[in-house]
Amino acid sequence: MRSMPTPGFATAEGTADYRARFAAALPPTHFRDFRGVSLSSIGLGTYLGEPDPETDRLYREAVIRAVGLGCNVVDSAINYRFQRSERAVGEALRALFADGGVRREELVVATKGGYVSFDGGYPANPNAYFTETFVRSGVARPEDLVAGCHCMTPAYLKHQLRRSLENLGLTSVDIYYLHNPEQQLDEVRRAEFTRRMRAAMAVLEEEAAAGRLRVYGTATWNGYRVPPGAGGHLSLQELTGLAREVAGEGHHFRVIQLPLNLAMPEALTHATQALDGEPVPALTAAARLGTYVMASASLLQSRLTRGMPPFLGEILAGLETDAQRALQFVRSAPGLGTALVGMKQEAHVLENLATARVPPAPLEQFERLFTKRG
């Protein structure tokens, strides 16, 4: 039998208490304020890994360990490891709340919907799974699917959010992302895409009103990184305007996720966003529009953890390993809120959270990365 879901959500007071517990160990700049809530500048991601019980255990333990070391942001998605990542996060949260040391109000839990989510493993017959799970129950029609794997109709999103809450053992997620909505642009025209986004936003606003999510956003890969005119381009200003049309100034479209790392600096360096006609990088657009930004793939899926040029260590001083420097780069980027890093091995959790003891690089130091060539 499933246990009762844990009620509540991250609050200003709860996250301030969490931050205060680390006051002696971590510099205050490790935490960022967003609409009163304190979020750690390093968050734990749960994308990679085998869909097996051992990986479930590793993620469960990693979340518990990371929360104990000053990480109060956990990121998942319903399709990660066929729902197993969300379930592992759910187990970790239950354990953290059960021993009384951590309260729901202290943690920012994010997840995503939009991809077809299998259940525990890859099904022998994915089409039959889709028909059985979604078509027969009236949740989705085959024609709602894009690229055979992506769906963001209101009915599908409502269903997926409820399933995510079950997996996480919560009544509310702090952030719910539309997962890679730019995928839809592979197959549908802009006008239809906008219609679908508007419908998705309308249903997510309803879910916010019902208390099942606190804010929503778009988790993206290419969307905000590619310039206007490129196939999958997303305009943050247009999407924010759409949310305003749907729900007024009090809309809940407040967070985006995009890749940012030493090898993918576009969100910082490329003017891919038009803001009132002015070309600016995505981080600048987000800052001006009041949108919180989480970076995905901070370590380029571990490829930035070894063999980096020595000048990185000279500029990003006080850190011992390439992984820490790669993470330091991301969390020091002006306008970036939280750098997400996938970590399930305890040694990685310890190494990555040790970065939090060093304040993010000041702007002047950070800018030297772009002038000095190793």
What residue ranges bind ligand NAP (CB under 6 A)? 45-48, 75, 179-180, 219-221, 257, 296-302, 305, 323, 340-345, 348, 351-352
**Cβ atoms of residues 171 and 6 within 8 Å:** yes
Rounded CA gap, 73 and 45, in Å?
9
Taking the complex as a whole, the smallest distance from the CB of residue 277 to ligand NAP amounts, in Å, to 28
Q: What H or E segment, with its residue span, contains residue 110?
A: strand 108-113
Spatial separation of the C-alpha atoms in residues 294 and 259, rounded to whole Å: 8
Nearer to ligand NAP, 11 or 220 (CB): 220
Of 103 and 233, which has the nearer Cβ to ligand NAP? 233
Ordered alpha helix ranges (H), 80-139: 84-98, 126-130
Residue 239 CB, nearest approach to ligand NAP (Å)? 15
* Residue (of 105, 54, 46, 128) closest to 79 by Cα position: 46
Burial class (CB in 10 A: 0-12, 13-18, 19+), 235: middle
CB 310 to ligand NAP: min, Å: 18
Q: Least CB distance from residue 340 to ligand NAP, whole Å?
A: 4
Judged by beta carbon, residue 48 or residue 155, the one nearer ligand NAP is 48
Q: To the nearest 10°, the Cα dihedral for 12, 17, 22, 24?
A: 110
| CB of residue 299 to ligand NAP, shortest distance in Å | 3
Residue 310 host element (H or E): helix 310-315
Q: Which is nearer to ligand NAP, 326 or 361 (CB)?
A: 326
Query: What is the Cα Rg of the chain in Å?
Result: 20
Round to whole Å and give the CA distance between 71 and 98.
Answer: 18
As measured in angstroms, the least distance from the Cβ of 106 to ligand NAP is 20
Min separation Cβ 227 and ligand NAP, Å: 19
User: Which CB sits closer to ligand NAP, 75 or 207?
Assistant: 75
Residues sharing a CB contact under 8 Å with residue 322, sequence separation 6 or more, in sequence order:
304, 305, 306, 307, 308, 312
Residue among 158 and 344 whose Cβ is closer to ligand NAP: 344
Quick one: which of 154, 252, 258 has its CA closest to 196? 154
Write down the least CB distance from residue 100 to ligand NAP, Å. 28
Q: Which is nearer to ligand NAP, 103 or 360 (CB)?
A: 360
Distance between CA 219 and CA 131 in Å, rounded?
26
Please give the C-alpha separations between residue 196 and each of 152, 176, 190, 192, 242, in angstroms, as whole numbers: 7, 17, 10, 6, 11
Three-class SS of residue 160?
Answer: helix
Q: Which is nearer to ligand NAP, 141 or 306 (CB)?
A: 306
**φ, ψ at 269 (rounded to 5°):** -110, -20
DSSP code, position 2: P
Indicate the residue among 220 and 332 with the shorter CB distance to ligand NAP. Answer: 220
Question: Could you tell me the smallest distance in angstroms from the CB atom of residue 43 to ligand NAP?
Answer: 8
> Which residue has tokens 């749960």?
46
